[in-house]
Structure 1
Amino acid sequence: MKWSGKYEAMLFDLDGVLVDSLGVIERILREWAAEHGLDGDEAVALSHGRRDIDLIRLLAPHLDAEAETARIVATEERDTAGLRGLPGAAELLAALPSTLWAVVTSGTRAVAAARLRAAELPAPTLLLGAEDVPVGKPDPTGYQWAAQLLGRGTRHCLVVEDAEAGARAAGAAGMDCVGVGPALEDRRDLTVAHVPDLSHLRVSVEGDVLVVGVL
């Protein structure tokens, strides 16, 4: 193993970690930006790890953020054709007891559930979405609440993230973070380990403890 650690729970981001949905998200945001005469590249860059409402408030404060978020979310709920689980996601989740993992996403619960169904991945017992927190990532509230609801201490939870905003949220919550994908490949300041995808992670269960390792 290149790295290993022992934890009481694992907390996963969704898009780009469990589900291969970043292409769909990018297309939806580019179409929305074009409708409003906004820079599509900037919208995509700012969106990574953020809630839609936070993106709109940051990129286009002159717009009605709640109304625009509702429009984007409605499109996201419908646009799930062709979504699939990322390598290793199904196998890793199958190895975890349902009470020892959760999903903490910047998308809404409905969008997350639709994407998990489309990707044929199991629904988590605990799913925290955009509407469940007063402030999105990089604020740590979502991860802190997930740990509390699972009955675990924050320092005993491992976060799996693909975005800087999410990794910063994990760090602010006092949690270790494994980075997935290119955005966090060289960010050892934010992560304890990095993997290209979840097929490089292994988990074994020892009582109530998860032994997590990177191949």
Structure 2
Amino acid sequence: MIDIVASGVLFDMDGTLVDSTSVVEGAWSRFGAQHDIAPSTILAFSHGRQTIDTVQHFLPDLPYAEQRRLADELVADEVENTHGIIEIPGAAAFLGRLVDAGVPVALVTSAPRDLALNRMRAAGVTVPESVVTSEDVEQGKPHPDGYVRGAALLGLRAEDCVAFEDAPAGLQSAIASGATTVVVGELDADVTVGLARVHGFDGIEVTAEGAAFRLRG
């Protein structure tokens, strides 16, 4: 249950608006097999982070040019593969309700722009006008830069926004930005303690609350 008043809404993408589990797990499983790293170990770290950050974490001794090449190959493979990508329950309709109510909305993702746009379209979720991708920030999640920038694109402070996130790195990023943070899904970790939680977006109502908006559901 949530009952939050805010001036804008910030969304993560993978695991928050879009379920791309099969694509992501396939890409990192192939990477793990090539480099003798257990896929489960990679996935435990990678979720919510930029691809280059994960490659550098697991292959720190490679020259940067080779790390970059591997990351670019992973992203290119994922951009082309949209099979099985679906929306998180109620995501498309909830975004529609927000837009209809005049709520400022931004997407804040660790994915590159092409990958983000392809996945949103594949899931049938409308891309907000304001988008922050990996190309737009110097430091990716868990740093707060993305959420701070997303709020600024809406003409707001992050503290005036609510952020929806599903991954530890993303939740750390949203919390550090000052945004009111809501967990999407089942994650149970230290970072989720005390946070509101939703398991989908069906039934979340959007109403005007003075100069702001109330999300209740």
User: What is the CA-CA distance between 1:141 and the residue it aligns to?
Assistant: 0.3
Aligned to 1:149: 153
Q: CA deviation at 1:136?
A: 0.8
Deviation at 1:60, TM superposition (A): 1.2
Q: In 1, distance between residues paired with 2:213 and 2:124?
A: 24
User: 1:208, CA displacement in angstroms?
Assistant: 4.7
Report the more deviating stretch, 199-208 or 131-140.
199-208
Percent of pairs identical after alignment? 35
Q: Give the match for residue 68 of structure 1.
A: 70
Q: Does 1:209 align with 2:212?
A: yes
Q: For this pair of structures, how many residues does the alignment match? A: 212
Aligned to 2:47: 48
| Contact 1:106-1:136 within 8 A present in 2 as well | yes
Compared CA separation, residues 32 and 158, structure 1 to 2 (3 A): same
Q: Which residue of 2 aligns with 1:196?
A: 199
Instruction: State the TM-score, normalizing by the size of structure 1.
Output: 0.92
Structure 2 residue matching 1:73: 3-state secondary structure: helix
* 22 and 208 in structure 1: CA distance in 2 versus 1, 3 angstrom threshold: farther
Q: CA RMSD in A?
A: 1.8
Deviation (angstroms), 1:147: 0.8
CA deviation profile, 1:157-189 (whole Å, cap 9, x unmatched): 100000111111111111111101111478543
1:11-30 paired onto structure 2 within 5 Å? 11-30=10-29
Instruction: Quote the residue 2:177 is aligned against.
Output: 173
CA deviation after TM superposition for structure 1 residue 154, in Å: 1.6
Amino acid at match of 1:47: S
| 1:27-82 deviation per Cα after TM superposition (whole angstroms, max 9, x unaligned) | 11111111122221111111111110111111111332211110001001001022
Cα distance in 2 for partners of 1:102, 1:154 equals 11
Does the CA contact (< 8 Å) of 2:55 and 2:67 recur in 1? yes
Segments ≥4 residues shifted beyond 3 Å: 184-190, 205-208
Determine whether 1:108 maps to 2:107.
no
> Cα distance, 1:205 vs. partner?
3.7
- Maintained 8 Å contact 1:140/1:172: yes
Q: Is the CA contact 2:103–2:213 (under 8 Å) kept in the aligned structure 1?
A: no
1:16: Cα distance to partner? Answer: 0.6
Cα pair distance change 1:190/1:132, threshold 3 Å: farther
5+ residue gaps, structure 1:
none
Partner residue in 1 for 2:167: 163
After TM superposition, give the deviation of residue 83 of structure 1 in Å.
Answer: 1.2
Deviations 1:96-119 (A, max 9, x none): 127600110111111000001111
